[in-house]
């Protein structure tokens, strides 16, 4: 095989109460990566579309190619050469798992081109290195679901223990991106190191309730459990009119609403596609009242993860 083209989806990380441990993939948007072999060894970035020239062109500095270098090193391959084209289909610093989509598409593509020496699940630590390149932190709650699909739980980072759980069939995500930028690195820096016992107890109850709600298809329990007393109060100040946008979503039937990843995107979960669309409209309108343009995506939870679009 000389050429491959791979799609990897956007993701919603944290899912309110599960900082660094919960995430799910959505259907669209997602990044697309093309890799073509070349005779000379080394990975070069040929083109990046959709980033307005902002992403690093040096292979080791870009999440899409940095993960490829990590994988080649692990496999002891020194003579491999390729050109990489990245189609960046979502904004940077969006809270939609933009860097993760690139990293996952990149690592899946090169693994396929090498005839799959590793399983998809075994690619996770390499995809996490893409997050380290992007934000200085190798969190797995975006790359996990982008790679494995579905609603993913990171039970432990050391050792890495990651798995997907079932979700109700009529559960829809509304993801709304206001046109501002927040880098994950900055949004992690402002978090406090210490958490009170009271907040820990409250958060643990909601984490347990959300998992149980998803697995038992109990929509009310899902909604009651989408409460984050630790991270949301700190980060929401970075998002203009956060409380109004959240309240608008809840007033129009969302089960729950919170920050997507480190923001500025916000997500809501709803029962049924019509409800999810309505919630998207009111969230966008509330941002518009604050003078902020926003775009929305309504999606089922994407159970498939990355897709090979073409190869030859
Ligand atoms: N392929 C890539 N796609 C997106 N961001 C990348 C990529 N490679 C490196 N980065 C860097 O990662 C940062 C954006 O990632 P992050 O802050 O986690 O945002 P997001 O929430 O959108 O993933 C930017 O500083 C960007 O330069
Ligand atoms: N758990 C991470 C998730 C960051 O998600 P992103 O989509 O903003 O990159 C965090 O909250 O820092």
Residue 296, domain CATH: 3.30.70.890
Q: Residue 256 corresponds to which tokens in the numbers above?
A: 């729950």
The rounded mean pLDDT for the chain is 97
Would you place residue 287 in the very low, low, confident or very high pLDDT band (cuts 50, 70, 90)? very high
What is the per-residue pLDDT across 141-181, written as a single tens digit (0 to 9) for each? 999 999 999 999 999 999 999 999 999 999 999 999 999 99
Quote the ligand 2 centre to 252 CA distance (angstroms).
26
Q: Tell me: do 253 and 124 sit in the same domain.
A: no
Number of domains, the chain: 2
Q: Tell me: do 240 and 282 sit in the same domain.
A: yes
The ligand 2 atom at the shortest distance from the C-alpha of residue 99 is: 9
Residue of 41, 194, 45 whose CA lies nearest to 106: 45
3-class SS string, 53-92: CCCCCCHHHCHHHHHHHHHHHHHCCCCCEEEEEEECCCCC
**Does the active-site annotation cover 184?**
yes
Cα distances (angstroms) measured from residue 80 to each of 113, 114, 221: 11, 9, 51
The 10 Å Cβ neighbour count of residue 181 is 13
Pick the ligand that lies closest to the CA of residue 63: 1
Q: Tell me: do 148 and 239 sit in the same domain.
A: no
What ipTM, to 2 d.p.? Answer: 0.97
CA distance 167 to 207: 15
What is the per-residue pLDDT across 137-149, written as a single tens digit (0 to 9) for each? 999 999 999 999 9
The answer to whether the annotation marks 94 as part of a ligand binding site is yes
What is the per-residue pLDDT across 92-140, written as a single tens digit (0 to 9) for each? 999 999 999 999 999 999 999 999 999 999 999 999 999 999 999 999 9
Q: Tell me: do 153 and 22 sit in the same domain.
A: yes
Q: Tell me: do 16 and 103 sit in the same domain.
A: yes
User: What pLDDT is recorded for position 227?
Assistant: 98
The answer to whether the annotation marks 95 as part of a ligand binding site is yes
**Which helix or strand (DSSP H or E) is residue 100 part of?**
helix 98-113
- Beta strands 151-157 and 22-37 are antiparallel
Quote the ligand 2 centre to 127 CA distance (angstroms).
14
129, 184, 232, 286: the catalytic one is 184
Task: Return all residues near 120 (Cβ < 8 A) that are at least 6 apart.
Answer: 108, 147, 148, 305, 306
User: What pLDDT is recorded for position 256?
Assistant: 98
Q: Tell me: do 113 and 175 sit in the same domain.
A: no
Region class of 150: left (phi > 0), else alpha (psi between -120 and 50), else beta: left
Task: Please answer whether residues 272 and 278 qualify as being in contact, where contact means their C-beta atoms are separated by less than 8 angstroms.
Answer: no
Task: Please answer whether residues 16 and 232 qualify as being in contact, where contact means their C-beta atoms are separated by less than 8 angstroms.
Answer: yes
What is the per-residue pLDDT across 55-80, written as a single tens digit (0 to 9) for each? 999 999 999 999 999 999 999 999 99
Residue of 38, 39, 30, 42 whose CA lies nearest to 6: 30
pTM: 0.97
Instruction: List the domain range (segments joined by +) for residue 212.
Output: 171-300
CA distance 290 to 21: 32
The answer to whether the annotation marks 253 as part of a ligand binding site is no
Q: Tell me: do 65 and 107 sit in the same domain.
A: yes
Q: Residue 247 corresponds to which tokens in the numbers above?
A: 């309240």
Mutate to test the pocket of ligand 2, among 10, 141, 183 (most ligand atoms within 8 A of CB): 141
Q: Tell me: do 67 and 120 sit in the same domain.
A: yes
Would you place residue 19 in the very low, low, confident or very high pLDDT band (cuts 50, 70, 90)? very high
Pocket flag, ligand 2, residue 97 (CB < 6 Å): yes
């Amino acid at each position: 095989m000389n050429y491959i083209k791979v799609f990897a989806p956007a993701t919603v990380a944290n899912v309110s109460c599960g900082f660094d441990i919960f995430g799910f993939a959505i259907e669209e948007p997602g990044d697309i990566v093309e890799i073509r072999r070349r005779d000379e060894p080394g990975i070069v970035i040929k083109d990046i579309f959709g980033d307005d020239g902002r992403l690093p062109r040096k292979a080791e500095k870009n999440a899409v190619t940095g993960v490829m270098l990590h994988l080649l090193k692990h496999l002891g391959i020194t003579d491999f050469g390729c050109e990489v084209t990245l189609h960046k289909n979502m904004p940077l610093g969006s809270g939609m798992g933009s860097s993760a989509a690139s990293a996952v598409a990149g690592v899946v593509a090169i693994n396929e081109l090498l005839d799959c020496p590793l399983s998809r699940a075994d690619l996770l630590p390499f995809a996490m290195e893409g997050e380290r390149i992007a934000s200085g932190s190798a969190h797995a709650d975006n790359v996990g679901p982008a790679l494995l699909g579905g609603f993913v739980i990171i039970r432990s980072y050391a050792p890495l223990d990651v798995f997907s759980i079932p979700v109700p069939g009529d559960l829809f995500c509304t993801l709304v991106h206001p046109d501002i930028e927040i880098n994950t690195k900055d949004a992690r820096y402002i978090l406090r190191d210490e958490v009170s016992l009271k907040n820990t107890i409250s958060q643990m109850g909601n984490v347990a309730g959300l998992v149980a709600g998803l697995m038992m298809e109990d929509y009310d329990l899902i909604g009651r459990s989408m409460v984050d007393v630790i991270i949301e109060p700190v980060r929401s100040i970075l998002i203009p009119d956060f409380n109004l946008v959240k309240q608008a979503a809840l007033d129009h039937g969302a089960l729950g609403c919170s920050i997507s990843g480190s923001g500025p995107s916000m997500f809501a979960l709803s029962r049924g596609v019509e409800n999810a669309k309505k919630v998207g409209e009111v969230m966008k309108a509330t941002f518009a009242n604050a003078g902020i343009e926003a775009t929305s995506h309504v999606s089922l939870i994407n159970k498939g993860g990355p897709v090979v679009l073409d190869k030859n």
